[in-house]
Every structure is written in C-alpha cells, then in structure tokens.
Amino acid sequence: MQSVAESLERLGGLARTPAVARLAEAFQAAGHELALVGGPVRDALLGRSVHDLDFTTDARPDDILRIVAPIADAHWDIGRQFGTIGARFGDDTVEITTYRSDSYDGTTRKPEVEFGDTLEGDLLRRDFTVNALALRLPEVRLVDPSGGVEHLIAGVITTPSTPQVSFGDDPLRMMRAARFAAQLGFAVDQETRDAMAAMAGRIEIVSAERVRDELTKLLLADEPRPGIELLVDSGLAEHVIPEIPALRLEADEHHHHKDVYQHSLTVLDQAIGYEKERHPGEAPDLVLRLAAILHDIGKPATRRFEPGGAVSFYHHDVVGAKLAKKRLTALRFDKATIDAVARLIELHLRFFGYADAHWTDSAVRRYVRDAGPELERLHMLTRADVTTRNRRKADRLAFAYDDLETRIRELKEQEELHAVRPDLDGEQVMRVLGIRPGREVGQAMKFLLELRLDEGPLGEEEATRRLLEWWEQR
C-alpha cells in the first residue's frame, strides 16, 4: 500500500474528477448525502487504477433520478428495485445506490431489499472490511467503521460482521473471498477461512450464473492461483467445479506419477505467462485459462496402474474434453467458450507425437486444420503443459515446438494454410461428375480435402483429373 500522504492525494484527486465533483455538488444542493464507496476507494488507497465509480446516498431512487437526470449524458434505472440508478458522464459510468440494510431469508441469496438511513450502517452490511470504505463528498472525508484501512495495510481479507453471519446472509461472498485473494494478493484470515470450510455447502443455493461470474473474475486476475487453491482447500470447489479438487490423485508406494493438481496449477501459471508474453497489454484470455486449469481433468477417470510401477491415463484428452463441456454447460458458460475450451483439451496432447517422430507436411496441415481458430491458444497451452524438472527433456520439447511453429509459418506462407479448402468447390464437382446435390457430392469434397491436406494445392486441372480417377475407381 502507498504512503498515507500518497493515499490522501489519490483520494483528493478522485474527488476532483469531473463526474465525481459534479455529482457531489448536485446532491449537496438537493440536501442529500453522497459518498464514493467500495472498490474505487479501496483501489485509490492501494494505488491501483480506478475504473467503475460506485456511490451511495440517503436519497431514495426517485430522488436520485430527479437529481441525476438534468446533469447526466444518459441515465437508466435497471436496478431501481434494489435502489440503484445508473448514469453516464462523458467517459465515466457511475452507479448510485440508496443506503441499504438488506435481510436474507436463509434459503436463497436474494435479499429482502430494505433501505437504510446511515452511511455507517450501509458499510457494515458489505462483504469485506476492505470494501466497507467510503469517501464522503464533497468534504472528502474517509469513513471506515470496521478497520478496513488497517486490513488494507496488513493485506488481510475479513468480514465486517462475523463471517458466519456474513456468509449465511450471502454465500456467494465465500467465492468473492477467493476472488479478492487472487486479485489483491491478500491473505484470508483464519476465522474467515474456517467459516468458508464449515459453510461450503451453502454455495449450492447460489445460481449457476452468479457462480460462473465469480469464477470468471477469479480466473481473469493477474495471478489466479491463490484463489483457486483457497476454493479447493476450503471445500468450495467440491460444490462449484469438483473436477479440479479431483485432480489431487493419491499414489500408492509402488506407483508414482506427477501431482496432477499442482501440475495443472503450474500449467495455468505458465499459460498466463505465455499469454502476457505474446499479447502484452491485451485483456486476459478466459478460454486459455479455463483450458489450462481443466486440461487434465480426464485423468482421474482414466488412471490405470501398469506392471512395473507405471501409471497410464490413456484417452484422458478425449474424456477431459467431454467432462469440461459438461461442467461449463452446467455453469452456464456460452457455447463459443465451451466449444473452444473443449477443443483445446481434446488437442492438448497432439503435439507430443511431433516431438517423438518427424511429422510430414500433411500431418502439420491436419494439426492446423483441427485446431482451427484455436491454433494460437493451442500453441500456448501445449508449451505451458511442459512442467518437467528434467532440463534436457524440457529443452527438447521446446526446440521441437519451435520447429513445429516454424514449419506452420512456412506452410502458411506457401499455401495460405488458414484457408485450407479443396481445389474444386461443390458446383465444380457436380459439373465434372455430372451429379446432383447429395451424399456423393459430400464424399467427393471429402476426398478432395484429404488430397489437399496430403499433397498441398494441386490446381484445378490436376484436381479434376484426380477426382475423375477416384470416381471411376468407385
């Protein structure tokens, strides 16, 4: 955390930004309180960049609209039933929420919305002390009723009330603890961890969409590993994404194999490293990160103990792709993400055949064709999957993949590899063979595609000759 002087200067600068200053002046003129609250205050104190601006006020939703409408570039009331009004001021998007004092029924995470009367009461109902911070406006006075600044300095995540009460009210907060551990690099205090372990099963009352969103935010952190480890250690992962804790395979004294769970975490770390190296400054890649942490989830179901102490996991790539598709579907991920992750898991072992035996140009073309739009991610995942401590083996695999990528680039330059297609289209096939649309056209196109993959571009004349030859032999 930055120095006190730097933190105060950051808070003052935040209060002076056009959107904040304009809102503060308007609410004061209307006789209402206004405070910047939660994440923006926390991040300003930590010296992190501030993005979304969240405010809280004693004004009710109708009053918020009345104050905001004349001065905002746009406004909306999609969260009005929860006391939240959204607005846009230039490039800044803000949300303004009436003080809350929610109550929960204990069976769902949906609160009975009750408006509160004080800023301090509103802060004490929030998830963690580091988020229970507010900056009163326009006087720029920090409000911290639960010691959040001390916890920011110490790098500790804990709840304003007891964790049992907080998580009982809203079980999703347990996943948020893991997410903030990853995003902020903070430690979750022992009492909070104990409550997470004791109450892990409560997460099942939370909707799949909410769980998905928290898991996504965790994985998109700069270093998601500590958050994932907390999900597993607390038992939450057993209810949310059980395929990950299942990777902690036990080996008996006669059979030894790599710790699949720790290996998967290392693959995730390394995949993120390649992602940042190849695409610096770009947004985190959720598909790559999901594929990295899930790439070996087929191993528990395919583990076999072989004679001599060996352990095999035959077809864990195919099994893992199916398991990933099933889990991500249950978590309500979109189809494009599910398909891309499953495809990467299915293909993540393909390269190791290249390392053991030289591939023909045909095999390289098929690798590219099968990867399709996921080729760049497959490059990163496959490289990340090398976690051996044997330096000679690691170097051999790295050199082999360097060679494969070089060959792909060369073939692409020669043949426009990303647009691999037969030398003749369907209309030409029907005209050459004198047939109508149907199954035979599909068979002919498949033959021409295989020919194209095996031998590269042949040209229309040669492709026609070979097509007629194939047709006659049928």
Please, are residues 249 and 303 in contact by the beta-carbon 8 Å criterion?
A: yes
Peptide bond into 284 cis (omega under 30): no
What is the model's pLDDT at position 258? 65
- Distance between CA atoms of residues 277 and 9, nearest Å: 34
Task: Out of 100, 122, 153, pick the residue that ends a domain.
Answer: 153
Q: Are residues 13 and 133 in the same domain?
A: yes
What is the tens place of the pLDDT at every residue in 40-85?
Answer: 999 999 988 887 899 999 999 999 999 999 999 999 987 788 889 9
Burial letters for 254-269: b for 16+ Cβ neighbours within 10 Å, e otherwise? eeebeebbebbbbbbe
What is the model's pLDDT at position 106? 55
Average pLDDT of 265-285?
96
Q: Are residues 260 and 348 in the same domain?
A: yes
Q: Are residues 94 and 108 in the same domain?
A: yes
Please, are residues 253 and 279 in contact by the beta-carbon 8 Å criterion?
A: no
In a domain, 105, yes or no: yes
Burial letters for 295-330: b for 16+ Cβ neighbours within 10 Å, e otherwise? bbbbbbebbeeeeeeeeebeebbebbbebbbebbee
Q: Is the pLDDT of residue 245 over 90?
A: yes
What is the model's pLDDT at position 253? 45
In a domain, 18, yes or no: yes
Q: Are residues 295 and 444 in the same domain?
A: no
Q: What is the 3-state secondary structure (H, E, C) of 119-159?
A: HHHHHHCCCCHHHCCEEEECCCEEECCCCHHHHHHHCEECC
Q: What is the mean pLDDT of the chain?
A: 91
In a domain, 48, yes or no: yes
Per the structure, the complete domain to which residue 442 belongs is given by 426-473
- Distance between CA atoms of residues 202 and 189, nearest Å: 20
The DSSP symbol for 221 reads: S
In a domain, 26, yes or no: yes
User: In terms of pLDDT, which residue wins out, 15 or 150?
Assistant: 150
Count of CB atoms within 10 A of residue 340's CB? 20
Average pLDDT of 408-414?
82
Average pLDDT of 381-407?
91
Q: Are residues 315 and 439 in the same domain?
A: no
CATH number of the domain to which 362 belongs: 1.10.3210
The DSSP symbol for 306 reads: P
Query: What token pair was written down for 245?
Result: 């804790």
What is the model's pLDDT at position 250? 62
- Distance between CA atoms of residues 187 and 178, nearest Å: 9
Task: Out of 393, 419, 445, pick the residue that ends a domain.
Answer: 419
Task: Out of 104, 133, 153, pick the residue that ends a domain.
Answer: 153
What is the model's pLDDT at position 435? 93
Q: Are residues 317 and 437 in the same domain?
A: no
Identity at 275, one-letter amino acid code: E
Q: Are residues 410 and 445 in the same domain?
A: no
Q: Is the pLDDT of residue 418 over 70?
A: no
User: In terms of pLDDT, which residue wins out, 4 or 125?
Assistant: 125
User: In terms of pLDDT, which residue wins out, 47 or 209?
Assistant: 209
pLDDT classification of 254: cutoffs 50, 70, 90: very low
Q: Are residues 119 and 72 in the same domain?
A: yes
Q: Are residues 161 and 193 in the same domain?
A: yes
Q: Are residues 149 and 178 in the same domain?
A: no
Please, are residues 321 and 298 in contact by the beta-carbon 8 Å criterion?
A: yes
Instruction: For the chain, give the percent of residues with pLDDT over 90.
Output: 71
Q: Are residues 15 and 122 in the same domain?
A: yes
Q: Is the pLDDT of residue 429 over 80?
A: yes
Identity at 439, one-letter amino acid code: R
What is the model's pLDDT at position 2? 62
Query: What token pair was written down for 285?
Result: 């890649």
Count of CB atoms within 10 A of residue 466's CB? 17
Query: What token pair was written down for 231?
Result: 């999900």
The DSSP symbol for 53 reads: E
Look-up of token digits 């490293």: 273
Instruction: For the chain, give the percent of residues with pLDDT over 70.
Output: 93
In a domain, 245, yes or no: no
CATH number of the domain to which 209 belongs: 1.10.110.30
pLDDT classification of 255: cutoffs 50, 70, 90: very low
Q: Are residues 75 and 27 in the same domain?
A: yes
Average pLDDT of 278-295?
97
Count the domains in the chain: 4
